[in-house]
Structure 1
């Protein structure tokens, strides 16, 4: 393994608006938590394991990444911060870190929790630190992505979302790069633009070499839409989760907690509750009588699951309380409350893929099972129902017995109108 290229710097991109991640984009999307840690923590930890010595995190003006990580320590890895004043794209983010970059460097997104695996592929490939190397992986839908035109492993051109049927290859670019520092001068030559990195790359190709680093299978670690969080959560549970019962935990004798479930400190599991593995329950949680938590549930601190509730492949951020009902393939932001009888549908009647509307565009999620994605501070009345794939903004109130069939914007009250009918008894 050619580790000498893995001991330098990595630029982590964490300044974007995350607009397609709504309604969970109240902070940068890499700050969503799985198993008690933000996604960017896992990325940094993996970079450290790969041998990177310095991470430069490009964040927005709110400095939310710096605030989140201020108490974290990563042995043998130094963290520096750069500010991207406006979210003008990847190229602008890299230039924001220019004064901190000292030599050849990696660039990757903040949610690349599989960074060690990816950098291992680079370490087996890189032979010349004066060449650009970038990760490519196969895709069955190349027209949806940026793809490469290749001559064996030599990159001829980057093409953004080619016309269907005219794709130069089926290898997409998932966004992990190795650049010589000289590349920064090419970035400075092109106009500021969301695709300035790619424009600079193609300018580089007119004069210099770039090589593809091939991944053997289509990657599933990406975080464009909120439902992409499920794949990342499963990856992290597979690679990080260890069954453990914390301190001062109360588990009723009739409750069933499978091996491979993590339960945090001061959590209570009441009679006849069932928790399937893999699963994560944080600190100070309550799992009520007869509750069923099926596989791949992640409940962050201070969660409450009421009696007879059923959860399946569901993620709660901090301080979410639900009463009885069904919550399948669903994500709740922080500080949410639901009344009893809440039902979140996660499968279409025709069993086709669930569609969801993002920024006005109806998207095929690629998932046959997807419930609702609900932002921070939601208040949901009794017997409310949600159709598969709906997105509910932060600080929304949903009236009792309402049927949510479409997205609800932030700070909205929504209720279904009913008409009472009164007749005299004869």
Structure 2
């Protein structure tokens, strides 16, 4: 069997992580998801030579991420995904696994999928979100009846995240399909692009396609909060699997530190004076946690990071490599590589690569009526878990005293002026500042009665 991994899509819905990132490379607990996908395939008998990577948006990032795997096959998406699949189909003679690397699937569910004996099958997930946001499938007694594009709720039983195993004949039949999506509810408006599910609908008269449903949670990285939700889930899973303390070489824990959980610590790492750890944590190599820092538990701390001077890391938080967090800064969510927040601040959400958090920056995350924060993206309203978080794009600088209102997003390569209240999204490559009028009046000793 050969595997085709889809790593080509560009979607502005992932803003602000659509400019510098191929979403397949976005980190899940400090590991690019495409690397997770490859490791799952290797664990289930695939070799590099039998894996094809479909490239498109940020293709150089994908290749750089996968440079340790020199025998992979690359196919560029020059004339659409369908042409890429056709070029692969013309040179192979075995069954096909299709895997969209923008989906985050647990190792257990992947093993369940491979352990089933059916040759034509689709991995499906239980509906936990509106089916109008997804490609759906109607499953009857374990068999696919039809795939639908963004249907109303009663049309489908499950959602598909983009994992298929197909006989070569079935795969080639599916490629003989038109663009768009033929199975819709009335009033739908599908785009004129290729969907493998639309092609598979055309095979169902001759082929049976079995449905394998998920046991664990599945995430599709369609929006920035999906990345936050996935990291919260996986860091909790990893920390929950720590069985006892593991301390690396040349690492130490000061006797004054208070640890209420299991810790896994890498090499050359110091947990210093008066540190409080209130749950299980994973700490990388060459890390310094010192002088009253607080880790609330279910935390991952990346290599080369320091956290000190009474900084606080919230629960279910992933801190990336080479971060600097100090002096009463509070961080909760996900930070990527090189983030700096060394003065008092409070941020909840995702902080992109090498973002500088200035002093006294605050993220507001609660609406006065305690309802979910709606997000309007490409004309459609979305809301759900962590849509209220703040999302700061890569290589962006904040200003002293910025206030970010719930759900606001700042693009990549931006600068935000001191004192600005950010109450709307800021596009990539923008400097944002407020127009300010200053009133000046005389003041002197007379005002004090002299």
Matches within 5 A, 1:261-280: 261-280=281-300
Unaligned runs of 5+ in 2: 180-191, 243-262
1:108-131 Cα distance to aligned partner (Å, 9 max, x none): 11144435333333345334x3xx
The equivalent of 2:167 in structure 1 is 180
Equivalent-residue separation in structure 1 for 2:212 and 2:371 (angstroms): 35
User: 376-385 or 416-425, which moves further after superposition?
Assistant: 416-425
Contact 2:236 2:316 in 1 (8 A): no
The equivalent of 2:248 in structure 1 is none
The SS at the match of 1:37 is: coil
Matches within 5 A, 1:124-203: 124-127=115-118, 129=119, 132-140=120-128, 141-163=130-152, 167-192=154-179, 193-203=192-202
The equivalent of 1:27 in structure 2 is 21
The equivalent of 1:332 in structure 2 is 351
Contact 1:260 1:278 in 2 (8 A): yes
Matches within 5 A, 1:109-128: 109-114=100-105, 116-127=107-118
Larger Rg: 2
Structure 1 273/216 Cα, relative in aligned 2: closer, same or farther at 3 Å?
Answer: closer
Give 1:85's match in structure 2, choosing from 64, 78, 84. Answer: 78
The equivalent of 2:63 in structure 1 is 66
Moved over 6 A (4+): none
Matches within 5 A, 1:12-411: 12-25=5-18, 26-53=20-47, 54-60=50-56, 62-71=59-68, 79-86=72-79, 88-89=80-81, 91-99=82-90, 101-114=92-105, 116-127=107-118, 129=119, 132-140=120-128, 141-163=130-152, 167-192=154-179, 193-215=192-214, 219-241=217-239, 243-258=263-278, 260-312=280-332, 314-322=333-341, 323-328=343-348, 330-359=349-378, 361-367=379-385, 370-411=388-429
Contact 1:137 1:171 in 2 (8 A): yes
Alignment TM-score, normalising by the size of structure 1: 0.87
Unaligned runs of 5+ in 1: 1-7
Equivalent-residue separation in structure 2 for 1:282 and 1:247 (angstroms): 12
Structure 1 180/407 Cα, relative in aligned 2: closer, same or farther at 3 Å?
Answer: same
Contact 2:131 2:152 in 1 (8 A): no
Query: May I ask how many residue pairs the two structures share in their alignment?
Result: 404
User: 345-354 or 138-147, which moves further after superposition?
Assistant: 138-147
The SS at the match of 1:57 is: strand
Equivalent-residue separation in structure 1 for 2:143 and 2:157 (angstroms): 15
Deviation at 1:229, TM superposition (A): 0.9
Deviation at 1:336, TM superposition (A): 0.8
Alignment TM-score, normalising by the size of structure 2: 0.83
1:160-205 Cα distance to aligned partner (Å, 9 max, x none): 12245xx333222222111111133324422355243122111111
